[in-house]
Structure 1
């Protein structure tokens, strides 16, 4: 059983799998239902509940100003692991972790310069996965113009932008890459507005790294019959036949792994961990075959059989012909033949 903190709820009891480990997670702006980052972290805990027998609770702060209070509540109740999701929560988590050195903490998406002994930081090479997304966008584009919609203008989100830009330019030096920021991770209307503006400027493929705001990008893609690229989780079923791929960021797997380390007693704080293309931390959804998440969406009634067929036909008719090229590029990145600049560290070029 999982009990959400609507105000703040009750502790869920561990199920019969045998673990008495309790995990509390504070989600990032946009909360559950973003079909992206938060939902992926939540799936990691659902898997841990099913496979490891842990119990967990979650809090969805209405504003980042509430993050510290939410994290502190879990720590005060002596949860075995407290997880903070999103770069905006880094400072709050560090403050709370200092006050509760006996509690294990994990943070997603921001490395710490002087990381505490009771904190594990989970980070991803989004620029590598986004390079593949940009290359695919350039290969698919017929207008020579593509777009990128970012959530908040911040170093982490620059990693997505930079990888996408470099990947597109790797394929076509003359391609135009339109780039705008919504300044919000939970505003689909704003995402739609930005995407429609890009479409007016001839963009025919748009990638987003904007959480729930990105659903507006998908709406625009459906309205105007252009293509989009999803992010973080497999979002291909959100707009069947219009999303040519999703850049996977396996937050679910890393969240599961850190929970498992607490369960089996191997948790080791004081680490900034990074997950790359080489170890499967980031990547693209299949360009040729239906993925398990797409089939699951059909089995769960999220999409119809007709919509599942639309995804399949899109892969066959649009992306399959580029699969080998994208695979080659991926291997070149893994082997170091292609070095993808991390704009989160170097900054965005003028």
Structure 2
């Protein structure tokens, strides 16, 4: 992660502290011309992952194109629904207005009786495979199965693998879990255990529990983290315990600059995909109601940590060569592409 991104994340953290919980909508860029409103997931910003990555891309786009930008950070789904209704009914002072709903948890808000929206307004819903949305509503889906399959395959020589996930009822992470488990099982014949931090979305914001779970795992474990902001607890444990043998996959962004026990990261190129959509929206050239892509499309990638062996203190014999993780990537990449294609063609 470069200095510019670190500075931007710091700026976002400061912005979050400047507004009270009751002040849901924050106007961050000027208030005239085309406008973008972002409703974050209930996990909010500051996770150094998915939410931050989305907002970084949006704030750069809005600044570059001189757009009005507002941010809504709901505490729960009900509050998000209220913000959606307010946006629909509010008088539009812009020639065009876009509402970005940055989570699959909001998919159920778009029912058959969803109200008609003004022709100057559009909605973009993240992490939804639906193609029959109401007029003016677009969907975007990053397919994680193939990249997760590759991550599982690359960890196949690790004696034990675990998925630490936020909760069991999130369709987005469930696909990633299936991919990782299948890749690990196909390559090793073993089963990766799933550990859920909560029964609901609270699992995305509980780094303390994630820390405790990580502490309880075997010293030779491999962890595939799917817990949003709670992932910080996992990374904190391995950062504080320099002699641990636990390995952790980076998630959403390239985590190699921060955590020495991260041999590779699953990277979401959501900022690039989003900027492509926003360019088309601004120019009035949106054609497809639904956009989707995975490993084979470059929407999701796995990045090997090239400096892994420069920073670790302890390691296992099975990965004692400098090019080990790159060789595992090369060995299993095509099988992951094939698995992705087979899974989504069902």
Q: TM-score, with normalisation over the residues of structure 2? A: 0.79
Indicate the residue corresponding to 1:256 in structure 2. Answer: 275
Quote the RMSD (CA, aligned, Å): 3.2
Pick from 62, 87, 91 the counterpart of residue 108 of structure 2: 91
Indicate the residue corresponding to 2:137 in structure 1. Answer: 119
Could you report, residue by residue, the CA deviation over 1:48-93 in whole angstroms, capped at 9, with x for unpaired residues? 1243333311111111221111223334253610000111111225
Kindly indicate whether the alpha-carbon contact (under 8 Å) linking 1:52 and 1:263 is maintained by their aligned counterparts in 2.
no
Question: Post-superposition shift, 1:272?
Answer: 2.3
Q: 1:246 and 1:332 mapped to 2: Cα distance?
A: 18
Structure 1's 289 and 219: CA in aligned 2 closer, same or farther, altered over 3 A?
A: closer
Indicate the residue corresponding to 1:217 in structure 2. Answer: 234
Question: Post-superposition shift, 1:226?
Answer: 1.2
Indicate the residue corresponding to 1:326 in structure 2. Answer: 329
Q: 2:98 and 2:35 mapped to 1: Cα distance?
A: 7
Structure 1's 193 and 14: CA in aligned 2 closer, same or farther, altered over 3 A?
A: same
Pick from 134, 141, 154 the counterpart of residue 136 of structure 1: 154
Q: 2:131 and 2:238 mapped to 1: Cα distance?
A: 40
Indicate the residue corresponding to 2:188 in structure 1. Answer: 172
Q: 2:323 and 2:150 mapped to 1: Cα distance?
A: 14
Q: 2:109 and 2:297 mapped to 1: Cα distance?
A: 30
Structure 1's 319 and 43: CA in aligned 2 closer, same or farther, altered over 3 A?
A: farther
Indicate the residue corresponding to 1:296 in structure 2. Answer: none
Structure 1's 152 and 8: CA in aligned 2 closer, same or farther, altered over 3 A?
A: same
Kindly indicate whether the alpha-carbon contact (under 8 Å) linking 1:12 and 1:57 is maintained by their aligned counterparts in 2.
yes
Question: Post-superposition shift, 1:309?
Answer: 6.0
- Count of residues paired in the alignment: 313
Kindly indicate whether the alpha-carbon contact (under 8 Å) linking 2:49 and 2:228 is maintained by their aligned counterparts in 1.
yes
Question: Post-superposition shift, 1:169?
Answer: 1.7
The correspondence of residues 174-323 of structure 1 with structure 2, limited to 5 A, is: 175-183=190-198, 184-197=203-216, 199-200=217-218, 204-222=221-239, 223=241, 224-238=244-258, 240-268=259-287, 271-288=289-306, 310=311, 320-323=323-326
Kindly indicate whether the alpha-carbon contact (under 8 Å) linking 1:187 and 1:213 is maintained by their aligned counterparts in 2.
yes
Structure 1's 100 and 318: CA in aligned 2 closer, same or farther, altered over 3 A?
A: farther
Kindly indicate whether the alpha-carbon contact (under 8 Å) linking 2:150 and 2:336 is maintained by their aligned counterparts in 1.
no
Q: 2:320 and 2:262 mapped to 1: Cα distance?
A: 13
Does residue 39 in structure 1 map to residue 57 in structure 2? no
Q: 1:82 and 1:322 mapped to 2: Cα distance?
A: 41
Question: Post-superposition shift, 1:20?
Answer: 2.9
Kindly indicate whether the alpha-carbon contact (under 8 Å) linking 2:104 and 2:128 is maintained by their aligned counterparts in 1.
yes
Could you report, residue by residue, the CA deviation over 1:243-279 in whole angstroms, capped at 9, with x for unpaired residues? 222211222222222221221111246x222111111
Question: Post-superposition shift, 1:209?
Answer: 1.1
Does residue 54 in structure 1 map to residue 67 in structure 2? yes
Kindly indicate whether the alpha-carbon contact (under 8 Å) linking 2:40 and 2:74 is maintained by their aligned counterparts in 1.
yes
Structure 1, unaligned runs of 5 or more: 291-307
Pick from 64, 73, 97 the counterpart of residue 86 of structure 2: 73
Structure 1's 10 and 221: CA in aligned 2 closer, same or farther, altered over 3 A?
A: closer
Q: TM-score, with normalisation over the residues of structure 1? A: 0.78
Kindly indicate whether the alpha-carbon contact (under 8 Å) linking 2:150 and 2:183 is maintained by their aligned counterparts in 1.
yes
Q: Secondary structure at the match of 1:138?
A: coil
Structure 2, unaligned runs of 5 or more: 1-10
Pick from 142, 147, 166 the counterpart of residue 151 of structure 1: 166
